[in-house]
């Protein structure tokens, strides 16, 4: 029913706004760009409006230059009259677990809904809180791109067409699966996922070129970030299977914030014997960003949800207010408990 309702809303829309979560990543960006191509092919007017800054890592993807990044509420409010002037608008949120994750795009979402438009919540996270007017959340989807592909197939069928991604859309969808499976290393690398990826490759994409674009694009500052992270990596004294990186604002300011923090949490994960990994970093606005990872069958999402976040069983995160010195005594016992150690 959710798929049916999403198709009906998009079919009736004159304008579709595609967006994703704060700190856009390969899944969110690739999903939106694939949807743009599929919906424009049906004659829809599509706009890409994202919260914050967009990582240049993904500039090789078709349509990247059409993304508008909203820096603050003032910029969002300035767009509202123009967006509201178009009747029958749908906002299609991709890969965001809750409304707060839409960040600076929230005023635009509110204006569209106030004008009678719909918010479609397309996602694959088990912790998604179903914040949309229509919730297309498939927790079996290995990436949000997989869910988007299903949606495009359905809406094209309604229009009497067959959805077959062209090479550009396939490249965007391939990026979603590469990112969210950790290049086929995570537990969501299923037989279906590999068959789906093979079908994308048969569309004519240059998979090796995409992988190079996602991997071999580090700047000198990116290397400084990794150096800083390694300098602040520590194995938990009580629980050797737990390791993490803690970055305080003063340390970050010595090199400056990078354009894209990347997936620093993979560094502690590479340690032999690691089962649970984390990265905590203080942001310029006085918050703490946390990334959590665990190896199957251990689940980390419950810890993230306890701090107001969410994600997947083995890949989750949250944003907290306050200081690291206050958060660590609360977080570490919960991470140790995931490993079976008493808190």
Query: Residue 334 belongs to a domain with what CATH number?
Result: 3.10.310.30
Query: Which of 152, 184, 215 lies at the terminal end of a domain, its last residue?
Result: 215
Q: Please give the Cα distance from 16 to 321 (Å, whole number).
A: 34
pLDDT tens column, 183-237: 998 888 999 999 999 999 999 999 999 999 998 888 888 899 999 999 999 999 9
pTM greater than the 0.85 cutoff: yes
Q: Please count the other Cβ atoms lying within 10 Å of the Cβ belonging to residue 139.
A: 13
pLDDT at 104: 94
191 shares a domain with 249: no
The answer to whether residue 34 sits within a structural domain is yes
Do the strands 276-282 and 242-247 form a parallel or antiparallel pair, or are they unpaired?
A: parallel
| pLDDT(343) > 60 | no
**What's 31's domain CATH number?**
3.90.1640.10
168 shares a domain with 228: no
pLDDT at 285: 84
Range of the domain at 85: 2-215
Q: Write down the mean pLDDT value for the chain.
A: 93
Query: Which of 180, 195, 215 lies at the terminal end of a domain, its last residue?
Result: 215
Q: Please give the Cα distance from 289 to 276 (Å, whole number).
A: 17
pLDDT tens column, 88-115: 899 999 999 999 999 999 999 999 999 9
206 shares a domain with 72: yes
User: What residues form DSSP beta bridges with 245?
Assistant: 233, 279
162 shares a domain with 33: yes
pLDDT at 222: 86
Is the distance from CB of 139 to CB of 2 less than 8 angstroms?
no
The answer to whether residue 74 sits within a structural domain is yes
Count: domains in the chain: 2
- Helix, strand, or coil (residue 73): helix
pLDDT at 43: 95
Return the residue matching tokens 């977080």: 331
Query: Which of 175, 197, 215 lies at the terminal end of a domain, its last residue?
Result: 215
138 shares a domain with 263: no
Q: What is the token pair recorded at 123?
A: 């996602």
Q: Please give the Cα distance from 233 to 342 (Å, whole number).
A: 23
The answer to whether residue 327 sits within a structural domain is yes
140 shares a domain with 37: yes
The answer to whether residue 270 sits within a structural domain is yes
| pLDDT(259) > 80 | no
- Cα distances from 263 to residues 34, 53, 109, 180, 280, in angstroms, run 23, 17, 29, 11, 12
208 shares a domain with 109: yes
176 shares a domain with 91: yes
The answer to whether residue 343 sits within a structural domain is no
The answer to whether residue 175 sits within a structural domain is yes
| pLDDT(342) > 80 | no
pLDDT at 262: 75
227 shares a domain with 106: no
228 shares a domain with 209: no
The answer to whether residue 162 sits within a structural domain is yes
* Nearest C-alpha neighbor of 144 from the set 42, 46, 20, 41: 20
203 shares a domain with 227: no
Return the residue matching tokens 């190896």: 295
Percent residues over pLDDT 90 in the chain: 80
Is the distance from CB of 32 to CB of 54 less than 8 angstroms?
no
pLDDT tens column, 126-163: 999 999 999 999 999 999 999 999 999 999 999 999 99
The answer to whether residue 307 sits within a structural domain is yes
**Most confidently predicted of 57-61, 77-81, 82-86:** 57-61
| Strands laid side by side in the 67-70 sheet | 67-70, 45-51, 15-20, 89-94, 118-123, 134-137
pLDDT at 260: 77
205 shares a domain with 110: yes
Residues 6+ apart with CB under 8 A from 218: none
């Amino acid at each position: 029913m959710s798929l049916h309702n999403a198709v009906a809303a998009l079919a009736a829309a004159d304008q579709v706004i595609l967006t994703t979560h704060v700190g856009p990543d390969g899944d969110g960006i690739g999903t939106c760009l694939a949807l743009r191509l599929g919906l424009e092919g049906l004659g829809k007017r599509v706009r890409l409006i994202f919260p914050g800054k967009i990582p240049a890592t993904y500039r090789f993807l078709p349509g990247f230059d059409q993304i508008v990044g909203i820096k603050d509420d003032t910029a969002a409010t300035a767009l509202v009259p123009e967006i509201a002037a178009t009747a029958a608008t749908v906002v299609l949120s991709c890969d965001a677990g809750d409304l707060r994750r839409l960040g600076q795009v929230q005023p635009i979402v509110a204006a569209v809904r106030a004008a009678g438009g719909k918010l479609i919540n397309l996602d694959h996270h088990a912790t998604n809180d179903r914040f949309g007017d229509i919730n297309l959340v498939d927790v079996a989807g290995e990436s949000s791109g997989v869910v988007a592909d299903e949606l495009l197939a359905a809406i094209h069928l309604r229009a009497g067409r067959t959805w077959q991604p062209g090479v550009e859309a396939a490249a965007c969808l391939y990026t979603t699966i590469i990112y969210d499976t950790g290049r086929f290393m995570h537990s969501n690398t299923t037989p279906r996922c590999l068959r789906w990826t093979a079908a994308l490759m048969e569309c004519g994409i240059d998979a090796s070129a995409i992988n190079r674009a996602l991997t071999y694009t580090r700047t000198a500052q990116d290397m400084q970030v990794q150096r800083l992270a390694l300098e602040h990596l520590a194995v938990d004294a009580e629980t050797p299977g737990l390791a993490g990186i803690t970055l305080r604002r003063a340390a970050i300011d010595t090199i400056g914030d990078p354009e894209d923090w990347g997936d620093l949490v993979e560094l502690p994960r590479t340690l032999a014997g690691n089962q649970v990994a984390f990265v905590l970093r203080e942001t310029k606005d006085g918050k703490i960003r946390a990334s959590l990872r665990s190896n199957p069958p251990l689940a980390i999402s419950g810890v993230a949800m306890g701090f107001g976040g969410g994600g997947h069983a083995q890949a989750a995160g949250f944003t907290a207010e306050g200081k690291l010195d206050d958060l660590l005594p609360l977080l570490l016992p919960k991470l140790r408990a995931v490993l079976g150690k008493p808190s």
